């Protein structure tokens, strides 16, 4: 059994809006192991990015974790002093953001930004950090790395900036890598290269990866396991093959049906009916019931418990059998 890198249990997070607190993450639990990629999937606003901010301790001022546990390599993070937790960022856990232009400092050269973390977190000399940075830029397929080290972010394309972000994070060899939709702004060719690269580096360093996306094509390409979120709740989790072959929750089924089959001569996109709920909406019972074709009074009154449908495949739904029909 691979070592557990990240263990999240019963995580509850709130945002304060107009002097009132609203739950945005509702009792979420999941694990990530060494050399494993867990994809977190759901519509915009479902809580994917907020979950990553909880783990990295980067919540905005109006957000806070009110209960639950987050363990990195067995160490509880929620009770760790902020200074000690900050020290883990960039050393034991790293994050690749969706838009590298906002993540990279526009006033510093790539070389300065690449070497700074290595000297700070790995205790390298300037020469050692420089050599390591060159090595990882080559690993991510960047030609003329010494020239790139002297350049500023604005002088590089989006694809190059994203590769540099990956090299910067992986050079420190973190136990946990969080990638928040890192391929969204890239063209298809570069996207494929980045996914292949992340898989290779994950294997080389034995890193656990939490990959945030709404693109099921990317999920099929990179995931070992999948966590499906809806409106701050985990509704399904399972092995990638099982999720695609046997989706259980009506929301997961809806996500699958909303993806067009471009290989078919004719295809019909079936959008999920209804509207995604606002954070301030008070929805009792199952959060998905206003959009669910199988919703009953039980769904409106009682939140479903998580059940293990098959080994490693869990779902939170009162009417799993109906969804399977």
Average pLDDT score over residue span 143-157: 93
3's tokens: 């070592």
Of 39-48, 96-105, 131-140, the poorest mean pLDDT is in 96-105
Q: pLDDT tens-digit profile of 159-216? A: 888 889 888 888 888 899 999 888 776 777 777 877 887 887 788 878 899 999 888 8
Question: Most confidently modeled of 131-140, 226-235, 263-272?
Answer: 226-235
Average pLDDT score over residue span 107-126: 91
The pLDDT of residue 250 is 93
Q: Is the pLDDT of residue 324 over 70?
A: no
- Percent of the chain, pLDDT > 90? 56
The predicted model scores a pTM of: 0.90
Spatial distance between the Cα atoms of 299 and 276, rounded to a whole number of angstroms: 17
Neighbours of 274 (CB within 10 A): 12
Q: Is the pLDDT of residue 325 over 60?
A: no
Check: CB of residue 109 under 8 Å from CB of residue 164: no
77's tokens: 């993070």
Q: pLDDT tens-digit profile of 283-304? A: 989 999 999 989 999 999 999 9
The pLDDT of residue 111 is 95
- 193 Cβ contact list (under 8 Å, min separation 6): 141, 159
3 state DSSP class of 234 = strand
Neighbours of 33 (CB within 10 A): 18
- What angle, rounded to 10 degrees, do the helices at 126-139 and 158-171 form? 130
97's tokens: 């953001």
The pLDDT of residue 1 is 64
Q: What is the DSSP letter of 223?
A: -
Check: CB of residue 222 under 8 Å from CB of residue 238: no
Nearest to 161 by CA among 153, 152, 170: 153
Going by pLDDT thresholds of 50, 70 and 90, the confidence category of residue 150 is very high
Q: Is the pLDDT of residue 132 over 80?
A: yes
User: 4-92+174-324: which CATH topology?
Assistant: Rossmann fold (3.40.50)
The pLDDT of residue 262 is 61
- 118 Cβ contact list (under 8 Å, min separation 6): 124, 128, 129, 132, 133, 171, 172
Average pLDDT score over residue span 222-245: 95
Q: Is the pLDDT of residue 118 over 60?
A: yes
- 142 Cβ contact list (under 8 Å, min separation 6): 148, 160, 163, 164, 167
Q: Is the pLDDT of residue 92 over 60?
A: yes
Neighbours of 14 (CB within 10 A): 20
- Intervals of CATH 3.40.50.300 along the chain: 4-92+174-324
6's tokens: 């990240």
CA torsion angle for 279, 281, 285, 288 (degrees, to 10)? Answer: -60
The pLDDT of residue 97 is 80
Of 41-55, 82-96, 228-242, the poorest mean pLDDT is in 82-96
**What's the mean per-residue pLDDT of the chain?**
89
CA torsion angle for 183, 176, 156, 136 (degrees, to 10)? Answer: -120
- 238 Cβ contact list (under 8 Å, min separation 6): 225, 226, 310, 312, 313, 314
Q: Is the pLDDT of residue 100 over 70?
A: no
The pLDDT of residue 141 is 80
Q: Is the pLDDT of residue 321 over 90?
A: no
Strand partners, 21: 16
Positive or negative: CA dihedral 183, 185, 189, 193: negative
Q: pLDDT tens-digit profile of 52-85? A: 999 999 999 999 999 999 999 999 999 999 888 8
The pLDDT of residue 281 is 86
């Amino acid at each position: 059994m691979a070592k557990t890198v990240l263990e999240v249990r019963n995580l509850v997070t709130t945002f304060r809006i107009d002097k009132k607190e609203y739950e945005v993450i509702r009792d979420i639990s999941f694990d990530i192991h060494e050399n494993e990629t867990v994809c977190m999937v759901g519509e915009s606003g479902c809580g994917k990015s907020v979950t990553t901010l909880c783990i990295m301790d980067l919540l905005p001022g109006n957000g806070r974790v009110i209960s639950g546990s987050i363990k990195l390599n067995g160490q509880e993070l929620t009770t760790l002093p902020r200074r000690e937790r900050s020290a883990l960022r960039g050393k034991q856990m790293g994050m690749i953001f969706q838009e590298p232009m906002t993540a990279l400092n526009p006033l510093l050269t790539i070389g300065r930004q690449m070497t700074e973390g290595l000297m700070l977190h790995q205790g390298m000399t300037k020469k050692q950090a420089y050599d390591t940075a060159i090595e990882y830029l080559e690993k991510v397929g960047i030609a003329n790395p010494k020239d790139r080290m002297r350049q500023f972010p604005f002088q590089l394309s989006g694809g190059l900036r994203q590769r540099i972000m990956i090299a910067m994070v992986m050079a420190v060899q973190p136990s946990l890598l969080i990638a928040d939709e890192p391929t969204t702004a890239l063209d298809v060719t570069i996207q494929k290269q980045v996914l292949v690269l992340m898989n290779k580096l994950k294997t080389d360093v034995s890193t656990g990866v939490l990959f945030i996306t709404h693109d099921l094509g990317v999920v099929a390409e990179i995931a070992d396991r999948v966590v499906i979120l809806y409106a701050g709740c985990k509704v399904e989790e399972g092995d990638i093959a099982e999720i695609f072959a046997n989706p259980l929750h009506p929301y997961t089924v809806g996500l699958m049906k909303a993806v067009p089959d471009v290989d078919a001569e004719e295809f019909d996109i079936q959008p999920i009916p209804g509207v995604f709920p606002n954070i301030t909406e008070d929805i009792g019972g199952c959060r998905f019931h206003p959009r669910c074709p199988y919703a009953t009074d039980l769904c409106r009154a009682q939140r479903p418990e998580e059940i293990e449908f098959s080994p490693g495949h869990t779902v939170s739904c009162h009417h799993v059998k109906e969804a399977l029909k």
